[in-house]
Amino acid sequence: MTRYKIKIVSRAKKQIENLPEKIQLRILSVIIDLIAKNPYIGKSLKGGFKGHYSYRVSDYRIIYIIVKQEILVQIINVMHRREAYR
φ, ψ for residue 57 (rounded to 5)?
Answer: -130, 100
In the chain, the number of structural domains is: 1
pTM: 0.92
Residues 1-30 have pLDDT tens digits of 689 999 999 999 999 999 999 999 999 999
The answer to the question of residue 10 being in a domain is yes
The answer to the question of residue 86 being in a domain is no
Name residues whose C-beta falls within 8 Å of residue 43's C-beta, 6 or more positions apart in sequence.
53, 54, 55, 56
Range of the domain at 64: 5-81
Strand partners, 66: 73
The answer to the question of residue 22 being in a domain is yes
Rounded (to 5) percent helix, strand, coil in the chain? 40, 35, 25
Residues 59-74 have pLDDT tens digits of 999 999 999 999 999 9
Strands annotated E in 9-59: 43-44, 52-57
